[in-house]
Structure 1
C-alpha cells in the first residue's frame, strides 16, 4: 500500500465496521481478524499493545488461524512495552512464535510509557484500535484514512523501538 495514495476501502465480509465494546467483543474481534488474515492472505500485520495480556493470543483457534496465515512473504510485527504477560498467559502463541520466528518481528517500546502505546491491529485492508482499555471499547474499519493514520502512528512508535522477545534464548 502506498501511504500517499491508499487503496480504496476493500470489501471485508464479516469484519466489524464501527464501534465495539467490552472484553468479549474485543476478544471476538481479535479472533475474527486472524481468521480473515488467513482466509484473505493478508501479507502484513502489525499488533501493538503495552502487554497483550487480554488478547486471546494463546487460544487454539487463534494459533490455528496464525498457522493458516503463515506463509513465505508474510510478516507479523508486534510492539509492546514488555512481553512478560505474553510468555505467562499465551503458551501456544509463544510456541508458534518459535516455529515461525523468521516471519515475526517483536519490538519493545523502550522508554515509551505503556499509556502512549495504542492497543491496535493493523493490516493493509482493515484495522481496529481500542480507545479505552478498561472498558475495551474502540473502533474498527477499512476506511483508507483510518488505516493510513494508524499506520503512521505505529511506524513512529516502531522507529523508536528495539528488538525484544527473542524466539529462543541461548544459555551458557
Structure 2
C-alpha cells in the first residue's frame, strides 16, 4: 500500500491519506465500513455507480453491520444501478432482506445537468471520517478526516438523494 500523508499547517484541515493500488483502496474501504459500524455511526452513506466492487459480502462486514443495526440507524445507499450489486453480493442481499428497515436504497436518474462535484464513489461514516474514490481505473482513493469536507460531502449526498428514486427493494412481491 502506497499511502502518503499531507501534513497540515496549524489551524488547517486534518490530514488526508492518498491510497494507490486496487488492493489498498479496497482494504481501506472495508476498514472504513467496519470502523463506521464500531463507532456506532447513526448513518452510513454510500455512493457508487453499482457497488459491485465494494466488499459487501464480506462475512466480517456483514457481522459488523448486524451488530450495528439499532434504533435511529440508517444505511443509505445511492447508486445508478443495483443489478450488478445484487448478482455479485448475494450475502448482502440476504442481509438486506432481514435488516431492510435500516436500509435506504435510492437510484440516481440520468436526468439533469452533469454534476462536477460528484465523486466516483464515496463512503461517509462517523464525522469526520470519509473515504472517496478518485480514480477507479488507476485504483486511487483518499481517506479524509476533515469535518468541513465531510459536511460538504454529506450536503451533496443529501441533495442528490432528494432527486433520486427508491430502489433495490428488500423483497419483491409477486402475484
What TM-score results when the alignment is normalised by the length of structure 2? 0.83
Unaligned runs of 5+ in 2: 1-13
Report the equivalent of 2:160.
157
* 1:103-130, Cα deviation, whole Å (9 max, x unpaired): 10000002159x9653000124111110
Shift of 1:146: 1.3
Structure 1 outlier segments of 4+, above 3 Å: none
Alignment of 1:25-64 (within 5 A): 25-64=24-63
Larger Rg: 2
Q: State yes or no: 1:136 paired with 2:139.
A: yes
SS of alignment partner, residue 62 of structure 2: helix
What TM-score results when the alignment is normalised by the length of structure 1? 0.84
Report the equivalent of 1:127.
130
Report the count of equivalent residues. Answer: 157
Q: Report if aligned partners of 1:128, 1:141 keep a CA contact under 8 Å in 2.
A: yes
C-alpha RMSD of matched pairs (Å): 2.0
Point out the more displaced range, 132-141 or 79-88: 132-141
Q: Report if aligned partners of 2:107, 2:166 keep a CA contact under 8 Å in 1.
A: yes
